């Protein structure tokens, strides 16, 4: 199930942990629970509410986002997960001029990668949702009205030239159809401050590219507006991949800039702090359970010899393993 | 090997008159200063070098000639040339109230053939803007005209003039500058009405993106609930919008703090009718 829900989007370290422990477990924390109550009690006739998760580096923003994504997938929402918006504004090998609009630039590689992952996570939705307009891709190729959205995605994957336009079509269709209420849409964007910053991309004549000239960013910005209803928008700010921002910046206004703040306003900010003492305890109890941490007074006499799967990090935990019991709030969620 | 006499420091009493050892500014003489000072970068596993033959101590300026007893003597000598301080001006506030403008000039004396010193023509004029009769627009325009010469923390405008050769001329010029600034800031030019959002010194919520967004969102919410005939003025006057407006202004003007962010969060939740934990 992990592969189906998260073809992309889990942080690198967490993926290594999944591989090591053979199970995907994350800690239930207050920010995520807060978001769940908001989502549950939100009125889907009202315009979509934007939530911005912010916090210092390494406090668990991406993990909170993934938790929310998993929760909504379990409840049957359609999840539009963009793992890292920073990947779309930097290190782009191929930039093509857009055939649809003058002056815009396409990114075929990034668009096709994203389409592939989107297809993997939302197969059954793509069969049900039908297009509402005819889209002409080239001289002979076109998608008629009423065909399932999966065909648009196939078209984008088959012809990388049209991949970015295919992404734009998908986003537009989902936004329009969500208002009818047949499904709920969760837009989850990690690193949303990339959409309003600067890019490191240059055109062939070395002139810099601003974000709105990229088709992908332009279409995503349209989705971030709250002029649609029937879903929610959950985003994270991230300094780690951001461009031209100091490494101590973590507050919304610093990372989003004036443009971004005005575009997202009014939003609900959700701060994610570092682990509290109890959370830290439950975290290392989990590691002890998985035999990842080796203990000086190890339980079994061979406790020094074999650590967990793959050999543990030899830290000496201070208090012994019969410390305070875990509270229910900090129980771990096992994702099979 | 020449036999040196013991340094003077060994014969110095503890309660000697220091101002006779260093009456004027002089280089550091290790034999005349009875302090065990070390200065310099230590070699590995060593200590800073001692004061004998220490070039670092000689290079730096020292104030051994300006100890408090020496200054007392200077003041006593200068007292004969001074007049009495007016008894009515016994506090700082009274001084500021009666004499808001402060002029600073420096006189230089040196041992030499000439009494002239080109640095003596500098005149510094200091005034607090709260003592000037300025309205909101005039104050903002004056601050923009004056630029770096205004300090926001102390509300002090400092004008330093030294472009004329004589002190009297510089003083007249600084007064003239102050007069011109005052009158110019009261005038309003035609092109000043084209002031854009980037030129504004502080954030005003009216006519901003934030207000537009908030009103749009609220109108859409009302439309979805089929409550029509809600005008913009009513929305603007409602409690939630006022709350939201205050929190956004605080965020933008004062920067972001934990307090500000939580206030903003609460106001947005109330605005969009999001219920917290049930």
Residues of B in contact with A257 (CB under 8 A): none
Q: CB-based contacts of A14: which residues, under 8 Å, 6+ apart?
A: A24, A26, A63, A66
Q: What pLDDT, in 10s, does the model give residues A95-109?
A: 888 777 777 888 888
A169-202 pLDDT per residue, tens = 888 888 888 877 778 888 888 888 888 888 888 8
Helix (H, G, I), strand (E, B) or coil at A294: coil
| pTM of the complete model beyond 0.80 | no
Kindly state the percentage of chain B with pLDDT values over 70. Answer: 96
Q: What is the pLDDT of residue A185?
A: 86
Q: Note the pLDDT tens digit of each residue in B218-261.
A: 777 777 777 666 676 777 777 888 888 888 888 888 777 888 88
Q: What does the pLDDT read at residue A300?
A: 53
Contacts A32 to B, Cβ<8 Å: none
A124 pLDDT exceeds 70? Answer: yes
For the ranges A138-142, A324-328, B73-77, B253-257, the lowest mean pLDDT is seen at A324-328
Cα A82 versus chain centre, distance: 5
Most A-contacting residue of B196, B197, B216, B220 (CB-CB within 10 A), to test interface: B220
What is chain B's mean pLDDT, rounded?
A: 87
Which ipTM score applies to this complex?
0.73
Q: Which of residues 210-249 of A touch B (CB under 8 A)?
A: 226-227, 229
Alpha-carbon torsion angle B239, B242, B248, B252, nearest 10: -150
Question: Would you place residue A319 in the very low, low, confident or very high pLDDT band (cuts 50, 70, 90)?
Answer: very low
Q: Tell me how crowded residue A25 is: count the other CB atoms within 10 A of its CB.
A: 15
Long-range contacts: A16-21, Cβ < 8 Å, 24+? A20/A292, A20/A308, A20/A309, A20/A310, A21/A290, A21/A292, A21/A308, A21/A309
- B100: tokens are 């808001």
Amino acid A311: pLDDT: 33
pLDDT band at B215 (very low <50, low <70, confident <90, very high): confident
Question: Other C-beta atoms within 10 Å of A116: how many?
Answer: 15
- Residue A266 or A300, more confident: A266
The 10s digit of each residue's pLDDT in A244-256 is: 888 887 888 888 8
B197 to chain A: closest CA residue = A258
A180 Cβ under 8 Å from any chain B Cβ: no
C-alpha–C-alpha distance, residues A58 and A240, integer Å: 9
The pLDDT score that the predictor gives to residue A258 is: 80
Select the more confidently predicted residue: B125 or A264. B125
Q: How many CB atoms lie within 10 A of CB A252?
A: 25
Q: Do B256 and A253 touch (CB under 8 A)?
A: yes
DSSP state of B123: E
Q: Which residues contact A303 (CB under 8 A, 6 or more apart)?
A: A294, A295
A265–B209: do the CB atoms touch at under 8 Å? yes
Q: State mean pLDDT over B72-81.
A: 93
| Residue B229: per-residue pLDDT | 63
Question: Alpha-carbon dihedral of residues A54, A57, A60, A66, nearest 10 degrees?
Answer: 70
Task: State how far the Cα of B182 lies from the Cα of B143, in Å rounded to an integer.
Answer: 11
Per-residue three-class SS string for A227-271 = CCECEEEEEECCCCCCCCCCCCCCCHHHHHHHHHHHHHCCCEEEE
The answer to whether A119 touches A127, Cβ cutoff 8 Å, is no
Give the pLDDT confidence score for residue A334 in this predicted structure.
53
Interface with A, mutate which of B217, B259, B271 (most A CBs under 10 A): B217
Q: Does B226 touch chain A (CB under 8 A)?
A: no
The yes-or-no verdict on residue B118 having pLDDT over 80 is yes
pLDDT confidence band for A164 (50 / 70 / 90): confident
Residue A329 has pLDDT above 80, yes or no: no
pLDDT at A326 over 90: no
A122, pLDDT greater than 90: no
Find out whether A183 and A162 touch, Cβ atoms under 8 Å: no
Q: What is the pLDDT of residue B181?
A: 93
Q: Which candidate from A37, A254, A268 shows the least CB-CB separation from B277?
A: A37
In chain A, what percentage of residues exceed pLDDT 90?
0
| Cβ-Cβ contacts under 8 Å for B225 (sequence gap 6 or more) | A45
Tell me how close the Cα of B135 comes to any Cα of chain A, in angstroms: 29
**Best residue in B205, B272, B275 to probe A by mutation, most A CBs within 10 Å?**
B272
Residue A320 has pLDDT above 70, yes or no: no
Written as six digits, the tokens of A141 are: 């190729």
Residues 6+ apart with CB under 8 A from B8: B31, B32
A236 C-beta neighbours (distance < 10 Å), count: 26
Reply yes or no on whether the pLDDT at A301 is more than 60.
no
Name the least confident of A169-173, B37-41, B274-278: B274-278
Looking at every residue in chain A, the average pLDDT score rounds to 77
């Amino acid at each position: 199930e992990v592969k189906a829900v998260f073809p992309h989007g889990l942080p690198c370290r967490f993926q290594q942990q999944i591989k090591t422990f053979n199970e995907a477990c994350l800690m239930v924390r207050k920010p995520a629970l807060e978001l769940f109550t908001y989502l549950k009690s939100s009125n889907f006739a009202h315009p979509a509410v934007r939530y911005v998760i912010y916090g210092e580096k390494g406090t668990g923003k991406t993990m909170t986002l993934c938790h929310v994504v998993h929760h909504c997938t379990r409840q049957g929402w359609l999840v539009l997960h963009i793992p890292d918006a920073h990947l779309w504004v930097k290190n782009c090998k191929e930039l093509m001029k857009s055939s649809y609009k003058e002056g815009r630039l396409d990114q075929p590689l990034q668009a096709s990668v994203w389409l592939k992952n989107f297809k993997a996570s939302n197969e059954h939705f793509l069969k049900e949702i039908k297009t509402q307009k005819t889209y002409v891709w080239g001289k002979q190729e076109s998608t008629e009205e009423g065909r399932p959205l999966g065909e648009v995605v196939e078209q984008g994957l088959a012809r990388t030239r049209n991949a970015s336009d295919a992404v734009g079509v998908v986003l537009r269709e989902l936004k329009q159809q969500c208002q009818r209420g047949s499904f709920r849409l969760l837009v989850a964007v990690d690193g949303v401050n990339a959409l309003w910053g600067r890019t490191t991309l240059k055109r062939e004549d070395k002139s810099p590219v601003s974000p709105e000239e990229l088709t992908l960013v332009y279409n995503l910005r349209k989705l971030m507006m709250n002029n649609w209803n029937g879903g929610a928008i959950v985003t994270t700010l991230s300094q780690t991949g951001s461009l031209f921002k100091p490494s101590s910046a973590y507050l919304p206004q610093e990372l989003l800039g004036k443009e971004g703040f005005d575009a997202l306003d009014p939003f609900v900010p959700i701060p994610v702090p570092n682990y509290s003492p109890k959370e830290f305890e439950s975290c290392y109890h989990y590691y002890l359970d998985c035999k990842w941490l080796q203990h000086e007074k190890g339980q079994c006499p061979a406790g020094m010899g074999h650590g967990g799967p793959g050999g543990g990090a030899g830290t000496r935990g201070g208090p012994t393993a019969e410390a305070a019991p875990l509270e229910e709030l900090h129980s771990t969620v096992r994702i099979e | 090997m020449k036999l040196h006499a013991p340094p003077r420091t060994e014969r110095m009493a503890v309660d000697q008159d220091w101002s006779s050892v260093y009456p004027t500014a002089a280089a550091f003489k290790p034999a005349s200063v009875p302090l065990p000072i070390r200065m310099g970068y230590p070699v590995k596993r060593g200590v800073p070098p001692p004061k004998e033959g220490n070039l670092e101590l000689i290079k730096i300026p020292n104030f051994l000639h300006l100890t408090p007893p020496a200054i007392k003597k200077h003041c006593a000598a200068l007292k004969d040339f001074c007049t009495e301080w007016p008894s009515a001006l016994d506090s700082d506030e009274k001084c500021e109230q009666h004499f808001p403008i402060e002029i600073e000039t420096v006189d230089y004396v040196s041992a030499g053939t000439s009494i002239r010193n080109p640095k003596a023509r500098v005149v510094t004029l200091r005034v607090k803007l709260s003592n000037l009769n300025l309205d909101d627009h005039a104050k903002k325009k004056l601050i923009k005209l004056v630029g770096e010469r205004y300090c926001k923390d102390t509300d002090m405008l400092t004008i330093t003039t030294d472009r004329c050769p004589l002190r009297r001329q510089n003083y007249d010029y600084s007064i003239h500058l102050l007069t011109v600034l005052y009158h110019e800031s009261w005038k309003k030019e035609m092109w000043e009405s084209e002031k854009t959002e980037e030129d504004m010194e502080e954030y005003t919520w009216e006519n901003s993106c934030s207000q537009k967004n908030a009103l749009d969102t609220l109108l859409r919410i009302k439309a979805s609930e089929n409550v029509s005939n809600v005008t913009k003025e009513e929305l603007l006057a409602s409690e939630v919008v006022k709350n939201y407006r205050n929190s956004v202004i605080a965020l933008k003007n004062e920067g972001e703090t934990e307090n500000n962010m939580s206030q903003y969060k609460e106001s947005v939740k109330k605005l969009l009718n999001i219920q917290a934990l049930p």
